[in-house]
Structure 1
Amino acid sequence: MTWYDAPSHTAGAALVARLADLPGGMPDIDLRAGGLRVQPSDGTAEAAQELGLVANPAGLETLDVVIEAADPAAVQPFWQTVLGYPAGLEDPLRRDPAFAVRRLTEPRPLRNRIHVDVVRAADAVDRAREVTGREPSGAFGVMLPDDEGNEVDLVPGETLPGTTDWLALFGAMTFYPTSSPAPLVTAAAELADAAGVPLMIDVRREGVAFDSGKDQWEESPEFVALAQRIETAAKDLGLSADPARLRFVQFGIDAADVPALRAFWVTLLGYEEDPRPHVTDIYDPRRLNPVLFFQQLEEPREQRNRIRFELAVPDPERTVEAAMAAGGRILSEKPYLVADPEGNEVVVRTPKTRPST
């Protein structure tokens, strides 16, 4: 993957249009107000250079998740169902975190300090509950456990008020299947720049996903108007939305010392703190990787999780050094296994190549 800084959505969309004309088809592209991440293909670097876009290695991190299980074969189908990943545990649109279920190498207790939240269309949530055979429970009535007790809050979304094509899944999202994404991307980029509203535009061979980012449509009164204009542009191009293919995924961490743990993960991930009072979220400033939030532990828990993160970065040694300065410790190397100040674990490694189809 390569990140190119760009001054606007429209400047990034110009590269999308250029790449659409190259042999080999459209690569995966994540377009943001300040740049775009591209799955490299022949001609990408040349097209970017001609448009004056500069590669920046700072945008190449990915954050994925590992769930350890005594019987991975029994646990994996549950997570495929709740996530809506039809084959394996990777998002077919390659937007959301990849999950992996791996065999436990030593006994670990069932309770986790790391939590998974998934928000999907309401009918998809109903189907997942039916397939898994689990009745929702928990404080909010949305928690489902897998066969070994690992839990997910599977939350039903709803239609974004004032629109027909968008769902409110913590973020506002829609997806337009198309084999010719460039005209829609160009139109949406111009609309977003004119409105002054940051927009996440994920371009795939399968189509184009639009996303406000978590809570951003609520924070921006102009967002719904932008969503309506994008709907009109899509309809003018003869496109129909399929937002049910999308989901929102975030992770919560229980903490005895929320400020200390929050500071560690901000340093490790290069995230920023949500400035709103009483909100503990931290987020990727490029809106490429999942949101994390922190919950105050009511009582201490001395245990190791069955859930951990995997962070892929271009320079693991430098990242681990920063993590140590923020209170972390190295548990093992090659690849690095790092613990935060309260024992939650993350593997830090170099990126793997993800398939673009």
Structure 2
Amino acid sequence: MIPPRPTRSSRADSAAARDLGLAADPAVLQTVRLVIETADGPLLLPFWRTVLAYEPVGADGLRDPSRRDPGLSFRPSPHRPLRDRIHVDVVRAPDAVEAARAAVEQKPFGPYGVALADADGNEVDVVPGDRLSPRPETADWQVLFAAMAFYPVDRPARAADLASAVAGLADDAGLPLMVDLRPDGVTIDGGKDQWEDGEGSATPRFVDLAGRIQTAARDLGLSADPTRPRFVQLGLDAVDLPAVRAFWAAVLGYSEDQRPFLTDIYDPRRLNPVLFFQPMDASDAERRRQRNRVHLELFVADDHAQTRVDAAVAAGGRVLAGSTAERRTLVDPEGNEVALVSLRRQ
């Protein structure tokens, strides 16, 4: 896979950044994608399109229309019957969750009563979100593990105006926010759990900031679209949680959440999905031996790929035979796979 050549626009963007005294850091650039191996991809695709609210791409892929959350593709493989050790969580607006359940004609199951499964048994927790607060001045905001709001725009200048306003308000409040500009809109994202007080309630400072941002957006003539935001994270079942967690933090370049009651690892820049780890029974030998149907692909620049490989091996992983310089399959201490794909920079 070779990335497109630089366009006149990308060269202009680079020049503008240099004029502002900014320097690129290609070491942090990466894309995470999910792959589901299955004997019948066309059978599974509609299920995942529905629960994730993704759009088709190519013959066997799905992607987030906003290109924020990890893409998904299907690869042919013989059926593997046992429950997978990797699953997906997606958090969406409550109405969207109800619509997804109805569309796939399933009643949710599992310990939290939110799980759905495709025809192969691959599980996804489809979790209903909530409002940030009951106050009308934050009606645009939803809590989807992260506090988010999305504003559609009809031209780049309006997106830039909103981004500038949000950045100023966040700086004044002393609170970090991610402002994600896309061709069709702006997502304002507080990051998983960053909006709360440690007990599941929104902090007054964050609620106040959210209200100020909503006012600024409406002053610009923008209206929120509550159907667009979603939060996606990935869960891995493991016996030796610290060992598996250390591997994935190393290969992904993630940080470990220091809260003692969580196993999360996260992208320090909040650009890629959170991973979390759940204990599994060490005696479940057959399930542990079964190769996962779901695995991750990680795309990085070729001049940074070896650094990731070295970090993963130092953290207890290994490189599978048959790997090439462009595509290396790494496995964690319990056999969960990630394909590290090197891309040439132009």
TM-score, length-scaled by structure 2: 0.88
Q: Quote the sequence identity (%).
A: 56
2:301 aligned with 1:329, yes or no?
no
**Aligned twin of 2:98:** 126
Query: Which moves more between the two structures, 83-92 or 232-241?
Result: 83-92
**Aligned twin of 1:152:** 124
Q: How does 1:89-104 map to 2 (within 5 A)?
A: 89-104=62-77
- The 3 A distance-change label for structure 1 pair 66 and 339 is same
**Aligned twin of 1:341:** 333
**Aligned twin of 2:254:** 271
**Aligned twin of 2:146:** 171
Partner AA of 1:75 in structure 2: L
**Whole-angstrom distance in 1 between the partners of 2:97 and 2:253:** 32
**Aligned twin of 2:28:** 59
**Aligned twin of 2:224:** 241
Secondary structure of 2:45 counterpart: helix
Asked if the contact 1:173/1:243 (under 8 Å) is kept, the reply is no
Partner AA of 1:94 in structure 2: R
Asked if the contact 1:171/1:216 (under 8 Å) is kept, the reply is yes
Partner AA of 1:177 in structure 2: P
Q: How does 1:192-341 map to 2 (within 5 A)?
A: 192-219=170-197, 220-299=203-282, 300=284, 301-314=288-301, 315-331=304-320, 332-334=322-324, 335-341=327-333
* Runs of 5+ unmatched residues, structure 2: 1-6, 198-202
Partner AA of 1:325 in structure 2: A
**Aligned twin of 1:20:** none
Q: How does 1:70-109 map to 2 (within 5 A)?
A: 70-88=39-57, 89-104=62-77, 106-109=78-81
**Whole-angstrom distance in 1 between the partners of 2:106 and 2:11:** 47
Cα deviation, residue 317, structure 1: 2.4
**Whole-angstrom distance in 2 between the partners of 1:253 and 1:148:** 18
Partner AA of 1:60 in structure 2: L
- The 3 A distance-change label for structure 1 pair 135 and 216 is same
Secondary structure of 1:245 counterpart: coil
Asked if the contact 2:152/2:185 (under 8 Å) is kept, the reply is yes
Query: Which moves more between the two structures, 187-196 or 323-332?
Result: 323-332
* Runs of 5+ unmatched residues, structure 1: 1-22, 25-39
**Whole-angstrom distance in 2 between the partners of 1:133 and 1:250:** 23
Asked if the contact 2:142/2:148 (under 8 Å) is kept, the reply is yes
Secondary structure of 1:231 counterpart: helix
Asked if the contact 2:38/2:79 (under 8 Å) is kept, the reply is no
**Whole-angstrom distance in 1 between the partners of 2:187 and 2:20:** 24
Instruction: Name the count of aligned residue pairs.
Output: 315
Partner AA of 1:46 in structure 2: A
Cα deviation, residue 351, structure 1: 4.3
**Whole-angstrom distance in 2 between the partners of 1:140 and 1:349:** 35
Partner AA of 1:348 in structure 2: L
**Aligned twin of 1:142:** 114
**Whole-angstrom distance in 1 between the partners of 2:37 and 2:300:** 22
2:173 aligned with 1:181, yes or no?
no
Asked if the contact 1:109/1:304 (under 8 Å) is kept, the reply is no
**Whole-angstrom distance in 2 between the partners of 1:63 and 1:86:** 17
**Whole-angstrom distance in 1 between the partners of 2:337 and 2:118:** 21
Asked if the contact 2:82/2:290 (under 8 Å) is kept, the reply is no
CA deviations 1:256-297 (Å, max 9, x no partner) are 111111111111111111111111001000111000011111
Secondary structure of 2:169 counterpart: helix
**Aligned twin of 2:342:** 350
Asked if the contact 1:173/1:212 (under 8 Å) is kept, the reply is yes
Cα deviation, residue 85, structure 1: 0.8
Partner AA of 2:333 in structure 1: P
Secondary structure of 2:150 counterpart: strand
**Whole-angstrom distance in 1 between the partners of 2:11 and 2:25:** 19
- The 3 A distance-change label for structure 1 pair 245 and 43 is same
**Whole-angstrom distance in 2 between the partners of 1:226 and 1:258:** 37
**Whole-angstrom distance in 1 between the partners of 2:79 and 2:68:** 33
Partner AA of 1:336 in structure 2: R
Instruction: Give RMSD over aligned pairs.
Output: 1.7
**Whole-angstrom distance in 2 between the partners of 1:160 and 1:148:** 36
TM-score, length-scaled by structure 1: 0.85
